[in-house]
Chain A
Amino acid sequence: QVQLQESDPGLVKPSQTLSLTCSVSGASIRSSGFLWSWVRQSPGKALEWLGSISYSGTTKYNPSLRDRLSISADPSARQFSLSLTSTSAADTALYFCARVFHDNLMNLDYFDYWGRGTRVTVSS
């Protein structure tokens, strides 16, 4: 059974860096055919895809956050991480990590496993 669990940073002060880790069990981050993603939902807004990292370490970011966002992975630790710099109140959200099934041939992607989400508040 694949399970993902986000770390809990809680409160982050404005301008500081938000760091989140997703711990994966029941699957290997090294497996081809999957991407590992971060998604967030700000209060009253739709879900927003932030970015993904592949088993080979290739990253893809939402252009709206590209200058501030970095995603990395530590396959031996079965974890992947998000780092978001220069945070503001606009980054207050429920953050999810998810596994993405990715079929290159069919150009097919779907998020087959998610974490429960971790609530992050950016406030002084």
Chain B
Amino acid sequence: AQSVTQPDIHITVSEGASLELRCNYSYGATPYLFWYVQSPGQGLQLLLKYFSGDTLVQGIKGFEAEFKRSQSSFNLRKPSVHWSDAAEYFCAVGYTGFQKLVFGTGTRLLVSP
């Protein structure tokens, strides 16, 4: 069965520091990859997506992610974290022919002053 692993349940980063959230997926073919963010009291907002082409994708709010086929990974990065980035981040995978998304368990980001 398809699965998505986000190994970090919680991460604390100082404001202004860089951030990397890890995501690994299990599947042989190239998946469709997504990062969503859920801020307190809000719904899931799409940060960025990868379907094909350039493996480094840019998203909203200064986030980027890199697809590495050899590592089955799609890690999310941001060079300088802002306090407003404190939220829960979800990696999700979709597959051709299967339109449902498979999610990881989420990583909660805390930003310290």
Q: Are A and B genuine complex partners?
A: no
- Using a CB–CB cutoff of 8 Å, the interface residues on chain A facing chain B are none
